[in-house]
Amino acid sequence: MSETLPEGVERREIDGRKRLATRGEAVYGEPTDGEWRAWDPDRSKLGAMIELGMDVGLSGGDRVLYLGAASGTTVSHVADFAGPTYAVEFAARPARDLLSVADSRPRLFPLLKDARKPETYAHVVEAGLDAVVQDVATRGQARVARLNRRFLADDGRLLLSVKARSEDVTRGPEAVFEEVLEELEEEYEVLERSRLDDYHDDHLGVVASPR
């Protein structure tokens, strides 16, 4: 069976092996082959979800809201093939790096904002987006996803990485995941879930659609 990758993502021979790759300027020291840059799943939860065969449903030209953009490792890959990509990051230091990443990516719009307060960027981010990608290391990860539901089209997708240790370090990851999913399902239908432990300990990848 042939592999299904998001439009704009290819598996290329880079550094001696077939690797996920997007077209764009290198950001974090990843190996390249001409205009193609390797997408390292060890440094990207979304990359890990794709590497594990999850159907993330992204396509070239999609309008994306990325929550928890940090210094731009993953969102730079998304902006390589997506349409307008709004990158929300709360911490000032990584946001400065994110601004540098955006210099070569005209479709990437960095926002120094708090993903827990979508009302502070609702005047900038359009409604009816194709995808919300969320990777925030905070308590209340399901609540963040629910608050940002307002930006998603009815047929859009939430691509969520749940970090168990950010929710509760005293409980087992699976118990934490179930609690997060239960709250998430108040506003989303979970289409697919997969542990990301091959690349990221105690993380769960989730693909969901708005109810």
In this predicted model, what pLDDT tens digit does every residue of 180-211 receive, in sequence order?
Answer: 999 999 999 999 999 999 999 999 999 999 99
CB 145 within 8 A of CB 134: yes
Is the overall model pTM greater than 0.75, yes or no? yes
What integer best gives the mean pLDDT of the chain? Answer: 96
Q: Please enumerate, by residue number, every residue annotated as part of a binding site.
A: 73-74, 89-90, 114-115, 135-138
Q: Is 196 exposed, middle or buried (0-12, 13-18, 19+ CB in 10 A)?
A: buried
- pLDDT greater than 60 at residue 1: no
78 alpha-carbon distance from chain centroid: 8
Band of residue 2 on the pLDDT scale cut at 50, 70, 90: low
- pLDDT greater than 70 at residue 143: yes
In DSSP notation, 2-59 reads PPP--TT-EEEEETTEEEEEEES---SS--EETTEEE--GGG-HHHHHHHTT------
- pLDDT greater than 70 at residue 149: yes
pLDDT for 63-85, tens place per residue?
Answer: 999 999 999 999 999 999 999 99
Task: Please give the Cα distance from 173 to 7 (Å, whole number).
Answer: 32
Architecture per CATH, domain 40-210, reads as 3-Layer(aba) Sandwich (3.40)
| Domain locations in the chain as residue ranges | 40-210
Task: Please give the Cα distance from 160 to 167 (Å, whole number).
Answer: 14
- pLDDT greater than 90 at residue 4: no
Q: Please enumerate, by residue number, every residue annotated as part of a binding site for S-adenosyl-L-methionine.
A: 73-74, 89-90, 114-115, 135-138
CB 66 within 8 A of CB 129: no
Residues in the chain: 211
